[in-house]
Amino acid sequence: MDASQLTAQEFEQFQALIFQLCGIRVPENKVTLLSNRIRRRLKGTGAVDFQAYLKLLRSPAGRDEREEFLNVVTTNETSFFRTEKHFEWLGTTFVDELRERARLGTHPQSIRIWSAACSSGEEPYTIAMCLAENRHKLTDWKIEIHGTDISETVLAKARAGLFGPDVATEVPEKLRARYFHHEAGSSCWEAKSSLKQLVTVSNHNLMEPNPQKAYDCIFIRNVLIYFSRESKQIVINHLVHSLAPGGYLVVGPSEGIFDMLGMLQKRSTFLYQKA
């Protein structure tokens, strides 16, 4: 037997634990991938085998390790301006609509946006750039961008506003110059304080309600594809509850949730509005 690979029984046990912790159902064809990722934590904790590590995760003493476990077994792929048309809408139609509602007295001079499952922060910082570029339209407006994720490891990166060399290829040159610091010869790009002050991040499991007050817009993209159908419905219910009346839900193209959004009004292939 290959001790470096999960047995069928061990795979089912870890699969059930992951589902219990975050609602993600790992497909049966991911045995090798899951085995490889869990082995990283065996080395990190000194667990002698998969069963010993599973015992640790299930114990009261394994609370902090469960965070590390989810960090290695869930996907955290992200980028700046991913699906650019979403941000084009945000920086034009969305901003103009809220300004008009504020002019009519039906909306305060404030914008609250939630980037759900924000990973290391590229999405909320992209949102921040779109709104910062509209400061001339939003004078005296309060802007709040809230990023959440289940992994403290990626949240630490988002909180610091530190990014790698992808900034050079994913962020337009004029925005890089306006919103990032970069030392010559370094691969690190740091968001300037004018951008950082717009973004806050915190730990949140999408399977649980968000205790924050309602949002004008929620981004949930390239996340729910990894969730079971029943978990998706739970998450959607929480998201809709967190939307302010008239608020928008921005979704990715592969979430598999379009038939679950009947309580919202479809505005485009990626955009749904709460009545």
Q: For 68-95, write each residue's pLDDT tens digit.
A: 888 778 766 789 999 999 999 999 999 9
Same domain, 27 and 141: no
How many Cα atoms sit within 13 Å of 27 on the Cβ side?
A: 5
Q: Once rounded to an integer, what is the mean pLDDT over residues 110-133?
A: 97
Query: Count of CB atoms within 10 A of residue 257's CB?
Result: 21
pLDDT, one tens digit per residue, over 97-107 is 999 999 999 99
pLDDT, one tens digit per residue, over 180-191 is 999 888 889 999
Q: Measure the CA–CA gap between 39 and 10, rounded to whole angstroms.
A: 13
Instruction: Give the pLDDT confidence score for residue 1 in this predicted structure.
Output: 42
Instruction: Give the pLDDT confidence score for residue 142 in this predicted structure.
Output: 98
Q: Is 180 helix (H, G, I), strand (E, B) or coil?
A: strand
* Total number of domains in the chain: 2
The CATH number of whichever domain residue 121 belongs to comes to: 3.40.50.150
Q: What angle do CA 204, 273, 123 make, to 5 degrees?
A: 45
Q: Dmax over Cα atoms in the chain, in whole Å? A: 70
Same domain, 23 and 143: no
DSSP class of 24: B
Q: Measure the CA–CA gap between 50 and 241, rounded to whole angstroms.
A: 39
Surface-to-core class of residue 61, CB atoms within 10 Å of its CB (0-12 exposed, 13-18 middle, 19+ buried): exposed
Q: Is residue 168 part of a domain?
A: yes
Same domain, 184 and 247: yes
Which is nearest to 215 in space by CA: 79, 98, 78? 98
Same domain, 103 and 138: yes
Mean pLDDT of the chain, nearest integer: 92
Same domain, 88 and 193: yes
pTM (two decimals)? 0.86
Query: In sequence order, what are the beta bridge partners of 145?
Result: 113, 199
Same domain, 55 and 14: yes
Same domain, 49 and 94: no
Q: Does 205 score more than 50 pLDDT?
A: yes
